[in-house]
Amino acid sequence: MELTRRQWMMLGAGAVAAAGLAPTGVLAKRMDEALSSFTGGAAVADGGVELSAPEIAENGNTVPISVSAPGAVAIAVFAEGNPEAEVATFKFGELAASQAASTRIRLAKTQNVVAVAQMADGSFARTARVVKVTIGGCGG
């Protein structure tokens, strides 16, 4: 499926109009809600989870990311600037050899990608990375 930036933008139009990385308005609220539904509102500390993502994504339709948090039971990934903040949630089973996984995600625009790990003791840790999404390329 082809998701052009324009199509994403039209949907989140009002909210996305204010450019910048910190989500505002509707998007900020969606991010907060998405985060609380994962953490149940618990405090989230910085660090303790690794997130790798390209600094610049050549196409926002397919952005490779990896997450890792030794000792985590689950890691949730969020995209603050997408129409829906949730991206994916990895739960690691008994036979997971590491609490790490890679996938490919859609980013509607330049924004923060956030990884939040739920540790075995019930605490939460987060990290974020800015991914610049290339726009204005030669279309399909």
Partner 1 sequence: MAKGVKPRVKVPKTVAAGDVITIKTLISHPMESGQRKDKEGNVIPRSIINRFTCDFNGTNVLDVKLDPAVSTNPYFQFEARVPEAGEVRFTWYDDDGSVYETRKSIAIA
Partner 2 sequence: MKKTMITAATFVLLGGAAVAQDGSNLVINDELPMVTEAAAPAHLSEVLDTIYSGWRFRTPETQALQIDDFDNPGMIFVDAALDAYGTVEGAAGESCQSCHGEVGTFEGLRTKMPKFNAEAGTLWSMEDYVNNCRTERMQADAWQWSGADMQGMVALIAHQSRGMLMDVDITGPAQSWWELGREMYYTRYGQLELSCANCHEQNYGSMIRADHLSQGQTNGFPTYRLKQARLISQHNRFRGCIRDTRAETFAEGSDAFRALELYVASRGSGLSVESPAVRQ
Interaction site with partner 1 (CB under 8 A): 1, 3, 7-8, 10-11, 61-63, 66, 79, 82-84, 86-98, 100-107
Distance CA 73, CA 69 (A): 9
* Residue 95 binding partner per list partner 1, partner 2, none, with a CB distance cut-off of 5 to 8 Å that depends on partner kind: partner 1
Which residue stretch of 20-28, 57-65, 92-100, 107-115 sits at the interface with partner 2 (rule: CB under 8 A)? 57-65
Q: Does 59 bind partner 2 (CB under 8 A)?
A: yes
* Residue 98 binding partner per list partner 2, partner 1, none, with a CB distance cut-off of 5 to 8 Å that depends on partner kind: partner 1
Distance CA 110, CA 18 (A): 12
SS3 category, 7: helix
Cβ atoms of 119 and 72 closer than 8 Å: yes
* Residue 124 binding partner per list partner 1, partner 2, none, with a CB distance cut-off of 5 to 8 Å that depends on partner kind: none
Place of tokens 């890792």: 68
Q: Does 6 bind partner 2 (CB under 8 A)?
A: no
- Tokens representing residue 102 in the block: 């890679």
φ, ψ for residue 7, nearest 5 deg: -65, -45
* Residue 140 binding partner per list partner 2, partner 1, none, with a CB distance cut-off of 5 to 8 Å that depends on partner kind: partner 2
Distance CA 94, CA 109 (A): 36
Place of tokens 């996984």: 101
Q: Could you list the residues that contact partner 2 (CB under 8 A)?
A: 1-2, 4, 54, 56-59, 61-64, 134-140
